[in-house]
Amino acid sequence: MSALEPTTQPAAAVRPGRAWRPFALTLPALVLLAAVIGYPLITIVLRSLSEPEWGAQNYVWFFGAPVNLAVLQRTFTISAWVTLVCVVCAYPYAYLMTAVGPRIRLVLVLCVLIPFWVSGVVRTLSWVILLQDSGVINSLLRSAGFTGIRLIRTQTGVVIGMAQVLLPFMILPLYSVMKGIDLKLVQAARSLGARPSRAFFTVYLPLSLPGVYAGAIIVFILALGFYITPALLGGPRSTMLSTLVQTQVLSLLQWGRGGAMGVVLLVTTFLLLALAAPVMRSRHREAGRR
């Protein structure tokens, strides 16, 4: 063991014979992790392959039924819309956070943090009150002389609610990247004759992209697995994959099929993370070098 020790390690850090100690400290957490995350996930994978009998039947069923594929596609579409709405809304907001004085910044930070901390169920409840047919938006429209529009149980309603819930996850990484951007670079571009818009698009925007990527990945992944908001704001025509999983398991007791759907969702999430990790890391390094 001691032969493998890198020589750069500070002498006091790892005394010979005590290298196991740090592992012992992580052990309780790892045991719990294995029991409450690892074992259940393995159970689900096994059930998706073994119920009602061994084989890939549940996956064949999932990818063979147009209904399921439609839901899968819709899950991606809704998540993409939510991510887009979040990027568009968060970018100017995060930029303003870096540009204002400490007092206004505190107000802006509070506006992000309070919804972030308020119970997610309560926030979805308020969207139900706002969007329902007898809700705030429709009664305002009606009193202004317009006819009401259908918002609840539509895809638009789901996107509006989800984007609001997920917006802080976009604003915070963006802000932390933008905070570190050296504005002298923009000034340099300006002094060399670039117009403000050109200085923004060729200097500031590329430097802020790591934040956009990080935020977009987080929002997209969280959106893929969303359950509560689509369940309360959505209708039969805006069902997402999570709801389908729940129906298969709790209502139809089809553990195999529900499990297969869950595995598809899980694998998609991890694939996206794996794809995003190298991009984000290299961007990070690039930004650091400058």
The interface region with another protein, picked from 64-72, 125-133, 147-155, 208-216 by CB under 8 A, is 125-133
Structure tokens at 261: 């759907």
Per DSSP, helices labelled H in the chain are 20-33, 39-50, 57-64, 66-99, 102-117, 120-131, 136-143, 155-179, 183-191, 196-199, 205-224, 228-233, 241-246, 255-289
CB of 18 to another protein, least distance (A): 10
Per CB under 8 A, does 199 bind another protein?
A: yes
Of 92 and 101, the one with the shorter C-beta distance to another protein is 92
Report whether 48 contacts 260 (CB < 8 A).
yes
Region of 146 on the Ramachandran plot (φ > 0 left; ψ -120 to 50 alpha; else beta): beta
Of 225-264, binders to another protein (CB under 8 A) are 225, 227-228, 232, 242, 245-246, 249-250, 255, 258-259, 262-263
- For residue 134, state whether it binds another protein (rule: CB under 8 A): yes
Q: How far is the CB of 67 from another protein (least distance, A)?
A: 18
C-alpha of 140 from chain center: 32
**Interface pick for another protein out of 37, 56, 69, 188 (rule CB under 8 A):** 37
The yes or no reply on residue 158 touching another protein (CB under 8 A) is no
Residues within window 49-78 making contact with another protein, judged by CB under 8 A: none
Interaction of residue 201 with another protein, rule CB under 8 A: no
Closest distance of CB 120 from another protein, Å: 6
> Which member of 72, 207, 224, 260 binds another protein (CB under 8 A)?
224
- Contact present, 175 and 94 (Cβ < 8 Å): yes
Phi, psi dihedral angles at 126 (to 5 degrees): -65, -30
Pick one of 115, 148, 180, 235: the residue that binds another protein (CB under 8 A). 115
- Among residues 175, 188, 177, the alpha carbon closest in space to that of 100 is found at 175
